[in-house]
């Protein structure tokens, strides 16, 4: 299997229609050839909200925007962009990490591309004023409950992992993380005092049956289109919330008997992902376990700087973002790896619009660029060409225009 097939299979769990509300909407209108041609032209004009955010965000977003424009030129797609502030940048400008206008703009667009948020500068603010709160508000406000985080080891980067090559090569995992519930959002939460008069902090890990059912369905659908194996990850030996989770996943499985379901405790999963990653196909898990396990899985691939993600709801615009953070330590130094951002744009084209060919051209250009030996610092290996963000972009654009 070549690299591009490998990557495509991993980040293509849905039929293109599953989340392409706009294209299916247009398809229904096609009554005659003339109307179809007009509708087709309309369908090819997509409104995107771009949220560059903080740190390396603006640098890598610039790359993704140029890539989208180029791919649009090639595949006759027009993108209209609106840019908004979120995270630290929004705190500085408006005193809040998620201005209402930013959320409104996201909700009325066809899809949202986010870079990264956060930085040292805002680390000392109260929890409800931190940049992260902007991201959580965005996920909740857009109701994007299913977060798809592929971890694919590209053949060119199998040596870049801190784990042995024979362990990681061929790894192709899709983590399906529940994104708008669990301990991140559960009530009650806050600070208080216990009976002994000691200060306490507390959060609530809670899932309702419908919340588990809907994420389980998404995961079964994905597993069905991959290798047909789904591992549900929980802590059912200790937590009631996980017992309910497991019950509902088993119940949902009744509608997906062609998918092989297994269960694993989160601690064991953290170990197994590192010991023998190839045992996994699709993983489904709650918000915090998914946060942790997707970071662990990212290390198999050589760098978290390679990993895109998609967050989708049952309809409406999805939120597409790299798994990595804003890397304030290298911000503004032309050192950032833009590939996860660019691959997130490819996911956006595939899942939101069903633009499979356009998505594939981006992935092929990324592959070609890696084949040519271009590497940013995070994925640098002996004998390769160390480049910065701008030079990586130049190489990418050359491959894209071929």
- 110 is an active site residue: no
Q: Is 70 in the site for ligand IPM (CB under 6 A)?
A: no
Q: Which is nearer to ligand IPM, 291 or 363 (CB)?
A: 291
Q: Which is nearer to Mg ion, 281 or 291 (CB)?
A: 291
Catalytic residue among 110, 234, 291, 378: 291
Q: Which is nearer to ligand IPM, 11 or 259 (CB)?
A: 11
- 213 is an active site residue: no
Site size toward ligand IPM, by CB under 6 A: 4
- 81 is an active site residue: no
The least distance separating ligand IPM from the CB of residue 365, rounded to whole angstroms, comes to: 25
Q: Which is nearer to ligand IPM, 21 or 298 (CB)?
A: 298
Among the listed ranges 56-64, 128-136, 153-161, 220-228, the one in contact with ligand IPM (CB under 6 A) is 128-136
Catalytic residue among 12, 46, 54, 184: 184
Q: Is 291 in the site for ligand IPM (CB under 6 A)?
A: yes
The least distance separating Mg ion from the CB of residue 294, rounded to whole angstroms, comes to: 7
Return the closest-CA partner of residue 318 out of 79, 82, 109, 144.
144
Catalytic residue among 65, 235, 335, 360: 235
Q: Is 185 in the site for ligand IPM (CB under 6 A)?
A: no
> Which tokens belong to 50?
């771009």
What does 54 interact with, of ligand IPM, Mg ion, none (CB < 5 to 8 A by kind)?
Answer: none
Per-residue contact flags (x/-) with Mg ion for residues 268 to 297, judged by CB under 5 A? -----------------------x------
Q: Which residues bind Mg ion (CB under 5 A)?
A: 291
- Active centre residues (catalytic): 184, 235, 267, 291, 295
């Amino acid at each position: 299997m070549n690299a591009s097939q490998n990557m495509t299979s991993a980040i293509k769990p849905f039929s293109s229609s599953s989340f392409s509300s706009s294209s299916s909407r247009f398809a229904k209108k096609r009554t005659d050839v003339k109307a179809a041609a007009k509708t087709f032209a309309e369908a090819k004009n997509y409104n995107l909200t771009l949220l560059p955010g903080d740190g390396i965000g603006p640098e890598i977003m610039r790359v993704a925007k140029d890539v989208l424009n180029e791919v649009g030129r090639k595949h006759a797609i027009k993108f209209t962009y609106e840019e908004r502030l979120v995270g630290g940048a929004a705190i500085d400008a408006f005193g809040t990490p998620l201005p209402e206008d930013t959320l409104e703009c996201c909700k009325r667009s066809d899809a949202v591309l986010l870079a990264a948020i956060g930085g040292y500068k805002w680390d000392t603010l109260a929890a409800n004023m931190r940049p992260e709160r902007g991201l959580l508000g965005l996920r909740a406000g857009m109701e994007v409950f299913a977060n798809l985080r592929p971890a694919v080891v590209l053949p060119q980067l199998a040596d870049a992992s801190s784990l042995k090559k024979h362990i990681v090569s061929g790894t192709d995992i899709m983590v399906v993380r529940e994104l708008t519930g669990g301990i991140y959002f559960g009530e009650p939460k806050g600070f208080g005092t216990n009976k002994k008069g000691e200060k306490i902090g507390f959060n609530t890990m809670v899932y309702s049956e419908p919340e588990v059912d809907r994420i389980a369905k998404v995961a079964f659908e994905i597993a069905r289109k991959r290798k047909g194996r789904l591992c549900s990850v929980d802590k059912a030996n200790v937590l009631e919330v996980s017992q309910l989770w497991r019950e509902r996943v088993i119940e949902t499985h009744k509608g997906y008997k062609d998918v092989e379901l297994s269960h694993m405790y989160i601690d064991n999963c953290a170990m197994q992902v590192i010991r023998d990653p190839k045992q996994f196909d699709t993983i489904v898990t709650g918000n915090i376990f998914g946060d942790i396990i997707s970071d662990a899985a990212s290390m198999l691939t050589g760098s978290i700087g390679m990993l895109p993600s998609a967050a989708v709801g049952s309809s409406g615009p999805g939120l597409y973002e790299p798994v990595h953070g804003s890397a304030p330590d290298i911000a503004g130094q032309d050192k950032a790896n833009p590939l996860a951002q660019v691959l997130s744009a490819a996911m956006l084209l595939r899942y939101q619009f069903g633009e499979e060919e356009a998505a594939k051209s981006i992935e092929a250009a990324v592959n070609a660029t890696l084949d040519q030996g271009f590497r940013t610092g995070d994925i640098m290996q002996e004998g390769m060409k160390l480049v910065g963000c701008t030079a990586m972009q130049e190489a990418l654009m050359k491959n894209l225009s071929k």
